[in-house]
Amino acid sequence: MVTTLIGGLLLLLHIAGVLAAMHAVMNTRTPQGAFAWALGLVLLPYITLIPYLYLGRSRFHGYIDLHRLRRGQMQALAETQLVTSPAHQAACARYGEIADMLGTQFHAGQRLQLLVNGEATFTAILNAISEARHCVLVQFFIIHDDMLGKRMQQVLLERVRAGVEVCVLYDGIGSHALPGHYVDTLRAAGVSIHPFATQRRSNRFQLNFRNHRKIVVIDGVRGFVGGLNVGDEYLGLKPPLAPWRDTHLQIDGYAVAELQRSFAEDWHWVTGALPPLRQPASGQGSAHTLIAATGPADRQESCSLFFVTLIHAARRRLWITTPYFVPDLAVMAALRLAVFRGVDVRVLIPSRPDHHTVFLASSLYAHDAVRAGIRVFRYQPGFLHEKVLLVDDDTASVGSMNLDNRSFRLNFEISALNVDRAFASQVEAMLVEDFSHSHQVTEAEYLRAPYLRRLAMHVARLFDPVL
Co-location of 162 and 210 in the same domain = yes
Per the structure, the complete domain to which residue 396 belongs is given by 302-462
Closest CA to 413 of 402, 423, 401, 421: 401
Quote the DSSP letter at residue 179.
Answer: -
Q: How many domains does the chain have?
A: 3
Residue 203 belongs to some domain of the structure? yes
Concerning whether 392 is annotated as a catalytic residue, the answer is: yes
Co-location of 314 and 353 in the same domain = yes
pLDDT number for residue 326 = 96
Residue 154 belongs to some domain of the structure? yes
Co-location of 439 and 332 in the same domain = yes
User: What residue type is assigned to position 100 of the chain?
Assistant: D
Using CA atoms, how far apart are residues 341 and 417, in angstroms rounded to an integer? Answer: 23
Quote the DSSP letter at residue 446.
Answer: H
Co-location of 267 and 357 in the same domain = no
| Comparison of pLDDT for 62 and 459, the residue scoring more | 459
Q: What angle do CA 413, 407, 354 make, to 5 degrees?
A: 110
Using CA atoms, how far apart are residues 149 and 169, in angstroms rounded to an integer? Answer: 14
Q: For the segment 194-225, what is each residue's pLDDT rounded down to a tens digit?
A: 999 866 555 444 556 789 999 999 999 999 99
Burial of residue 185 (number of CB atoms within 10 Å: 0-12, 13-18, 19+): middle
Co-location of 50 and 68 in the same domain = no
Categorize the per-residue pLDDT at 5 as very low, low, confident or very high, splitting at 50, 70 and 90. confident
Co-location of 312 and 399 in the same domain = yes
Residue 94 belongs to some domain of the structure? no
Q: Given 23, 385, 404, 464, which residue is catalytic?
A: 385
Co-location of 124 and 27 in the same domain = no
Q: Given 144, 212, 248, 288, which residue is catalytic?
A: 212
Residue 340 belongs to some domain of the structure? yes
Co-location of 272 and 359 in the same domain = no
CB-based contacts of 163, cutoff 8 Å, min separation 6: none
Q: Given 146, 232, 368, 392, which residue is catalytic?
A: 392
Co-location of 136 and 10 in the same domain = no
Q: Given 23, 107, 367, 387, which residue is catalytic?
A: 387
Is pLDDT above 60 for 76? no
Report the CATH number that the domain containing residue 391 is assigned in CATH.
3.30.870.10
Co-location of 78 and 36 in the same domain = no
Q: For the segment 430-452, what is each residue's pLDDT rounded down to a tens digit?
A: 999 999 999 999 999 999 999 99
Concerning whether 385 is annotated as a catalytic residue, the answer is: yes
Is pLDDT above 50 for 251? yes
pLDDT number for residue 407 = 94
Categorize the per-residue pLDDT at 82 as very low, low, confident or very high, splitting at 50, 70 and 90. very low
Residue 429 belongs to some domain of the structure? yes
Q: Given 214, 248, 288, 367, which residue is catalytic?
A: 214
Concerning whether 214 is annotated as a catalytic residue, the answer is: yes
pLDDT number for residue 83 = 41
Handedness of CA 71, 73, 76, 78 (dihedral sign): negative
Characterize the bridge pairing of strands 287-294 and 317-321.
unpaired
Closest CA to 227 of 403, 45, 96, 438: 403
Has this prediction a pTM greater than 0.85?
yes
Residue 101 belongs to some domain of the structure? no
Residue 269 belongs to some domain of the structure? yes
Q: For the segment 119-136, what is each residue's pLDDT rounded down to a tens digit?
A: 999 999 999 999 999 999
CB-based contacts of 250, cutoff 8 Å, min separation 6: 112, 113, 115, 124, 128, 222, 223, 224
Q: What is the mean pLDDT of residues 410-415?
A: 95
Q: What is the mean pLDDT of residues 333-356?
A: 97
Mean pLDDT of the chain: 88
Co-location of 122 and 226 in the same domain = yes
Using CA atoms, how far apart are residues 315 and 319, in angstroms rounded to an integer? Answer: 12
Residue 44 belongs to some domain of the structure? yes
Q: Given 219, 252, 266, 434, which residue is catalytic?
A: 219
| Residue 228 near residue 214, CB atoms below 8 Å | yes
